[in-house]
Homo-oligomer: A and B are copies of this chain.
Amino acid sequence: MSTDLDRKNERNDAVPRTIYLLNQVNQGLRNALDLRLREFKITGLQYTILTVVRSNEGISSAELSRRFFVTPQTMNETVTGMERRGLLKRKEQRNNKRILVAFLTSTGEILLKKCDVIAREIDTEAFGDMSDEDFDTLRNLLQDRIKRQRAAKP
């Protein structure tokens, strides 16, 4: 007889692995994004950091490092580079001098808007043929995975 566990096992051996499918789609998209962002001398990662800073004014480098699954040192390096380039500025947080909170500079905002156009085009090229229903389904499934990741972490 076939048990629940059997089905679970079959599922987790699905070929290609789900992690592989996810990576393939992501690599294709990030590659396209990186290629087109070169025009503005910015990488996909740097653009993404800018968008996160925009929606989370005053976020710290340490908090960014957690969101991007890298060490604080790594994120600090990247953020410092963007600060030197004038895309971000940082200042001490009230009530906690060891934390440096980040904001977009006007240069950063202007560049970000240009990059948004590219990202939108990539999105359209990649998902434009999907039905509204499938599109929502995909987004919801991905959102659920992100929630699960966050819940599993601490």
Interface residues of A (CB under 8 A from B): 7-8, 11-31, 33, 48, 51, 55, 67-70, 119-120, 122-130, 132, 134-135, 137-139, 141-146, 148-149, 152
Contacts and interface: CB of A to CB of B under 8 A. Distances in A.
A25 B123 contact: no
Contacts of A70: 31
Given A18-B139, A19-B123, 18 more contacts: A12-B120, A12-B124, A18-B126, A18-B127, A18-B142, A19-B33, A20-B48, A22-B142, A23-B26, A23-B29, A24-B142, A25-B142, A28-B146, A28-B149, A31-B69, A130-B141, A130-B144, A141-B141
Copies in the complex: 2
